Structure 1
């Protein structure tokens, strides 16, 4: 789909499908939120395995990129992945700015514990912010590539869409886990349980949940596009 050939007097925004606009906004928000949530490790009962909580936002990035590839083309999906660096960069710069600005006298005097907690968390999360882009670009470009390569004669079928989404997500998320966990947490604490838990959780969610999310995401985008034409 060529979104650049607007008619004279028509803005680019007016020619962009409504579904694509909605997913672009969600995508930018999820890139930032994934890095913030990743600070917390969540246990997977009844085992000692764990996952970093950023996987929930990151799985939505997988769903959105696959949905965009399905409806609007692989080339556009790849461009969205690359442009996803922009909100990550801006968020990182703003975080450093806020950390280096002096706190108010009221907060220093009356809420020193809150200030210390804020600074401790966000000063420590720099490795997460550094590891995120490396894992992000490799895994999401891999997801789009696999999703596209699996397209074939049954590309238009619902089952084919769900199977492609599950395989692409499972493989790309396993790669993402190895890159991210190693870069973000190696040397800070033993990462074996977290790494194993992360891979298992992402693969399972990719098989059980992601296919239905992609199917629903495609249907929702089509509904948004049709509603904009009325």
Structure 2
């Protein structure tokens, strides 16, 4: 095999796919950390856990990948997202299991308590997160791809498909996560309604613009190869 033939058969990963895959892995880890805080959606009284923001980035990235490289590639990215998710969970478990330094116990007790409170999630929450993640993101990719049909679709079509797929998958995400994590501990009705409304609202307000920007950026990055 000549050098030119070897080069032609070399596996090439689109630049945008590579960059988005790195960003995707970071967002899967970040979502579980920032979710500890609830934020108010101005100007309403709707409250949503802050993990929705990196999670919306996951939705936008998978939809962008589906738009440019196909549904199968987007599904692969969703499954690959389990790698940083599992690795971060294992490292967090290890760090929590190790004893803190005497200096931290003596002088930074409040910091230690806050650290353990944020990262020491219950087994039910640890189970609920991945279940909601895989179901909602695969559903998002499926809905987004089905709404596309056989055509490429313009910018308006892209925005509408992205918003609908995100809203439906985010609603399912809330139902799965809240049910698995909190059912039986307290009345989850108000929490679930509030989370669904907040996530659907964000999906229609933010996703249309994020996904058009994501697709445009990906095309620009690939044009530089």
TM-score (norm 2): 0.90
Tell me the residue number matched to 2:33.
36
* Cα deviation code 1:53-100 (max 9, x no counterpart): 111111110000000000111100001101111111111110110001
Structure 2 distance, partners of 1:155, 1:192, is 40
Tell me the residue number matched to 1:70.
67
* Cα deviation code 1:152-191 (max 9, x no counterpart): 3653311111111111111111111111122223345543
- Is the partner of 1:16 in helix, strand or coil? coil
Tell me the residue number matched to 1:122.
119
Structure 1 distance, partners of 2:122, 2:52, is 16
Tell me the residue number matched to 1:180.
177
Tell me the residue number matched to 2:193.
196
Deviation at residue 126 of structure 1 after TM alignment: 4.5
Structure 1 distance, partners of 2:215, 2:15, is 12
CA contact (8 A) 2:132 2:173 kept: yes
Structure 1 distance, partners of 2:59, 2:178, is 18
* Cα deviation code 1:8-54 (max 9, x no counterpart): 14753xx1111111110110011111111222223446766421111
CA contact (8 A) 2:33 2:118 kept: no
Deviation at residue 217 of structure 1 after TM alignment: 0.2
Tell me the residue number matched to 2:88.
91
CA RMSD of the aligned region, Å?
Answer: 2.1
- Is the partner of 1:51 in helix, strand or coil? strand
* Cα deviation code 1:98-127 (max 9, x no counterpart): 001111121112112211221122223544
Unmatched runs of 5 consecutive residues or more in structure 1: 1-6
Tell me the residue number matched to 1:21.
18
Does the alignment pair 1:207 with 2:210? no
Matching residue within 43, 54, 59 for 1:57:
54
How many residue pairs were aligned?
A: 221
1:127-138 alignment runs, 5 A limit:
127-138=124-135
Unmatched runs of 5 consecutive residues or more in structure 2: none
Tell me the residue number matched to 1:163.
160
Structure 1 distance, partners of 2:154, 2:201, is 23
